[in-house]
């Protein structure tokens, strides 16, 4: 079971999805929850200000604004978590984006699960970069909360996106604490037998889960690569899933590499909470 969770509370985007999801899941798991809000210090300081005698003041004002955003975000979390009786800690920092990534990733590596907001690629905000970078740098599972999400998170009907790959396997293992309490498990797989070894087939996965007293059913669908994401979401709707589990494909943007196609599409259009592992 997840016993130590990290909630990354966005400072430049709505906080409620992460607040609601993290608190309700921590309560269901009787987990300790650490909340971290980061105020991002802009590095776009005008040249005139940099060479001015007032330069220290300019940077200090930017730091104070960043800290104010972080404190507002963490206050929203704390006002809700104090009603629950959960054990928790709250932290706020301000940092330039690169340092913020390093700090948050290091913190995530000491927790069982990190909860973040779904990126909004239509908006330019560093909260988007933080969410995706944590997926690649945390070394553990990341739960993405849709920015439309409200209310408690109770993952009882869980879907596993299965292609027999290393990343799908990692996500499956990371999600086991939630799968053990699921009422229904659906294995969603693209019906292309040429891409999945018999040893890692959905049928073999059902057998393996049964050995741990978990019952699962297989839903096979046909889709071209460009249709995988909407097809998986269609399965989620048909099966009335409240959580998806999938491998997170791609590489760090800060290393000048990109998200995998299906991963990026899922992050762009995410109607339900999704646990990803890389």
Together in a domain, 90 and 124 = yes
- Are both 141 and 175 inside the same structural domain? no
What pLDDT shows up at residue 213? 97
pLDDT band at 255 (very low <50, low <70, confident <90, very high): very low
Q: Using the 3D structure, point to which of 145, 178, 202 is the last residue of a domain.
A: 145
Report if residue 178 sits inside a domain. Answer: yes
- Of 278, 277, 274, the closest CA to residue 117 belongs to 274
Q: Contact 161/219 with Cβ under 8 angstroms? A: no
Quick one: average pLDDT of 69-92? 98
Judge contact between 116 and 144, C-beta under 8 A.
yes
pLDDT value of position 48 = 46
> Which domain-ending residue is among 114, 145, 176?
145
Q: What is the mean pLDDT of residues 175-191?
A: 95
What's the domain count of the chain?
A: 2
Same domain? For 111 and 235 the reply is no
What's the average model confidence in pLDDT over 79-83? 98
Same domain, residue pair 138 and 31: yes
Q: 136-150, 210-224, 257-271: which range is least confident on average?
A: 257-271
Count CB-CB contacts under 10 A for residue 7: 30
Q: Does residue 41 share a domain with residue 65? A: yes
Q: List pLDDT tens digits, range 216-248.
A: 999 999 888 778 889 999 999 999 999 999 998
For the chain, give the number of residues: 278
- The predicted model scores a pTM of 0.91
Which has more confidence, 193 or 189?
189
Do residues 138 and 161 share a domain?
Answer: no
| Percent of all residues in the chain with a pLDDT value above 70, rounded to a whole number | 90
Q: Tens digit of pLDDT for each residue in 203-217?
A: 999 999 999 999 999
Domain span holding position 242 = 157-277
Q: What is the pLDDT of residues 14-54, one digit of tens each?
A: 999 999 999 999 999 999 999 999 999 987 655 445 555 65
Letter string b/e over residues 12-23, b meaning 16 or more CB atoms within 10 A of that residue's CB: bbbbbbbbbbbb
Q: Same domain for 112 and 202?
A: no
**Of 56-60, 65-69, 112-116, minimum mean pLDDT range:** 56-60
């Amino acid at each position: 079971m997840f016993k130590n969770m990290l909630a990354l509370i966005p400072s430049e985007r709505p906080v409620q999805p992460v607040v609601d999801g993290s608190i309700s899941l921590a309560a269901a798991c009787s987990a300790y929850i650490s909340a971290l809000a980061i105020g991002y210090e802009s590095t776009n300081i005008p040249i005139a200000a940099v060479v001015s005698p007032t330069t220290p003041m300019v940077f200090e004002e930017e730091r104070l604004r960043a800290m104010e955003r972080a404190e507002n975000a963490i206050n929203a979390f704390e006002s809700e978590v104090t009603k629950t009786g959960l054990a928790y800690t709250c932290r706020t920092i301000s940092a330039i984006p690169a340092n913020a990534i390093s700090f948050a990733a290091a913190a995530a590596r000491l927790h069982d699960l990190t909860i973040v907001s779904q990126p909004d690629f239509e908006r330019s905000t560093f909260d988007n970069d933080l969410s995706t970078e944590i997926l690649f740098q945390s070394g553990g599972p990341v739960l993405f909360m849709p920015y439309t999400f409200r209310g408690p998170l109770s993952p009882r009907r869980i879907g596993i996106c299965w292609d027999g790959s290393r990343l799908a396997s990692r996500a499956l293992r990371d999600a086991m604490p939630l799968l053990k309490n699921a009422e229904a498990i659906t294995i969603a797989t693209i019906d292309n037998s040429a891409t999945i070894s018999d040893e890692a087939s959905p049928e073999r996965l059902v057998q393996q889960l049964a050995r741990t007293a978990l019952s699962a059913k297989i839903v096979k669908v046909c889709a071209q690569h460009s249709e995988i994401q909407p097809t998986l979401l269609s399965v989620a709707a048909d099966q009335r899933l409240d959580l998806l589990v999938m491998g997170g494909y791609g590489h760090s943007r800060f290393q000048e590499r990109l998200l995998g196609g299906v991963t990026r599409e899922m992050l762009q259009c995410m109607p339900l909470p999704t646990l990803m592992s890389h």
